[in-house]
Structure 1
């Protein structure tokens, strides 16, 4: 996916850009990924197609910018930083669970729409693959940290632990617990943290 153009310095241009990104997000969340054409985004934002193309020459660039905006507007990087700022791997694992509970419900609708469209839309597929790579990188970092501190229970290896952590981030899990079963984010984080600790951390004293 091509990198998006920079954020414009002109206040009016910034407002137009934000309106376009908000329109794209709303279209995806309300009507699905297939309807999010550049023309539809322009109409929803109330701007001309020419104005849209000045900011986003392609649908791919618009989606890349929207992906980055989600991280900024929902403070995903701030939430994730709380994981890496922990002093030890076990508390980082627990904070990881709370990070998922804080962040995933807020971006569930748009993420589900992109997931459904990835088999038929190349831009959606590229965005999905980027997200999955980022997830797996973070999961491996956490698993390596546990292993380095001798806090990774048998039979897990850093690779298998990372794979399982990545799988447990599934949008299915988030949707079923927070939407279908109506768990609060606090309950989601608390129970996920307990499960992760019981699964990946040795029950007895740490190995030396």
Structure 2
């Protein structure tokens, strides 16, 4: 019986597969060793690829971590967009009352990502990486502002943006306590964060 010839994998799919494998591996190593001890050679060795394969996509390990950060932020932002669509008909009050849902989903996405917790920490600890976090948080702020402005005709856009920017930053910092503070219960952190964001959002309606 003649064996069928293996189908050729389109070059684009091969490249994407290798890139994702490198990112998954780098995330796992980040969790094991921390950003200072991770090297491109270590990533290649664990991923089972040659250094030229890694350098096809990334100039150095910081570019790898930047890509990890952008992938994580993109996945979190996709959850935000789904949440905004889900509660659009309920207006400001619906968003305020369902903040816990978004916080929980965002935390779960981070925890499911290879090295997700350590990626977040790296985005805070390195000046070479913080732009990824800031750009993503500004994107989230812009999305929220875009939704809220038509619902709040009495408020200047600049004030809405400022409040949203501060709430976004607070939400991310507070949820990072889930993995940084052993003396606080997970649900207590999520619930208290949601309540504080709820009150700040409802203040628009006072």
TM-score calculated relative to the size of structure 1:
0.69
Aligned match of 2:120: 111
**1:48-197 equivalences in 2 (<5 Å):** 48-71=50-73, 75-85=75-85, 86-87=88-89, 88-104=91-107, 105-106=110-111, 107-116=116-125, 118-119=126-127, 122=128, 124=129, 128-143=130-145, 145-150=147-152, 157-171=159-173, 173-177=174-178, 179-180=181-182, 181-184=184-187, 188-197=189-198
Residue 39 of structure 1, aligned match among 28, 38, 41? 41
The alpha-carbon deviation at position 18 of structure 1 amounts to 2.6
Aligned match of 2:201: 200
Q: Distance in 1 between the 2:154 and 2:141 partners?
A: 13
Deviations 1:178-197 (A, max 9, x none): 6521314xx65544333222
Please say which structure displays the higher CA radius of gyration.
Answer: 2
Q: Distance in 2 between the 1:94 and 1:15 partners?
A: 40
Over 3 Å counting, the alpha-carbon distance change for 1:146 and 1:14 in structure 2 is closer
Over 3 Å counting, the alpha-carbon distance change for 1:21 and 1:92 in structure 2 is same
Q: Is the 8 A contact 2:103 2:171 kept in 1?
A: yes
Q: Is the 8 A contact 1:101 1:188 kept in 2?
A: no
Secondary structure in 2 aligned to 1:33?
coil
What value does the CA root-mean-square deviation take over the aligned residues?
A: 3.4
Over 3 Å counting, the alpha-carbon distance change for 1:101 and 1:132 in structure 2 is farther
Q: What is the count of residue pairs matched by the alignment?
A: 184
Structure 2 gaps of 5+ residues are: 1-9
Q: Is the 8 A contact 2:123 2:132 kept in 1?
A: no
Q: Is the 8 A contact 2:30 2:38 kept in 1?
A: yes
The alpha-carbon deviation at position 22 of structure 1 amounts to 1.4
